[in-house]
Amino acid sequence: MITLRQYPAALGLPNPSPFCMKAEILLKMSGAPFVVDTVNDPRKGPKGKLPAASFDGGPMIGDSELIRREMTRRLDFDPDAALDGRQKASAHAIARLLEERLYWAIVHTRWMDQATYNRIARDLFGAMPPVIRSVIKVIAQRKVRSNLAGHGLGLHDVQDIMAFGKADIDACAALLGDQDWFMGAEPTGVDATGVAFLANVLVPAFDSPLKTALRQHANLVAYVERGRARWYPDYPSWG
């Protein structure tokens, strides 16, 4: 049995972490049975981040990409089997764009815009006793600010960060074009990332410049909706 360790649902999404949502979609794509172990503390992941997953009682593996690799090894799961080398390279580039750059712009909208942070902190830390909550709220924001600076994106003005994020979204819209999925008529591995990250841009709980940018692309909104209907049919639309 596979156990997926991830954060609880929040902000109107199955997961406020796009990486957790990506791992869950990959597991759903594979058809393998899995159970979810919901935790609120990233230290419960072997590398201090979530998601993590354990296969047949083995050690927890941290990182969505390493979880995918383990799924390939153990389940012979290859959602890219039908792609040629060039398509695989394009899928790789799209996933890295979303995971390694747009992700940090998403983080910025949530944690550095104080009004939004105040709003989401209620969801993320609401279960904690009030005194602990207020301390964690400050410490967590300080850590995220430092992570954003370490990545480099956080060193820029907010207008520039949002412009970079908009450029990533515009690129995704152009690459998707009029296809149903990034690589054509059927979903492949990159769509676990695509749906997870773009749904996290369309997050129902608050507005952001990235959400405004995404909403200008009807094809991307329809894409996220296609992913919701396929993998999270019990959720209302995020569009």
Residues near ligand GSH (CB under 6 A): 17, 19, 42, 48-51, 63-65
Provide the minimum distance between the beta carbon of 46 and ligand GSH in the complex, in angstroms, as a whole number: 11
Supply the minimum distance, in Å, between the C-beta of residue 148 and ligand GSH: 11
- Which CB sits closer to ligand GSH, 22 or 211? 22
**58 Cβ partners below 8 Å, 6+ apart?**
none
Query: Shortest distance, CB of residue 178 to ligand GSH, whole angstroms?
Result: 29
Cβ at position 103, least distance to ligand GSH in Å: 7
Give the full edge-to-edge strand order of the sheet including 52-55: 34-38, 2-6, 52-55, 61-62
Q: Which is nearer to ligand GSH, 16 or 209 (CB)?
A: 16
Whose tokens are 């997926």? That residue is 4
For ligand GSH, the closer of residues 197 and 232 by Cβ is 197
Beta carbon nearer to ligand GSH, 49 or 119: 49
CA distance 95 to 39: 26
In 46-201 the beta strands, taken as DSSP E runs, fall at 52-55, 61-62
**Total Cβ atoms within 10 A of residue 57:** 7
Q: Please give the Cα distance from 5 to 218 (Å, whole number).
A: 33
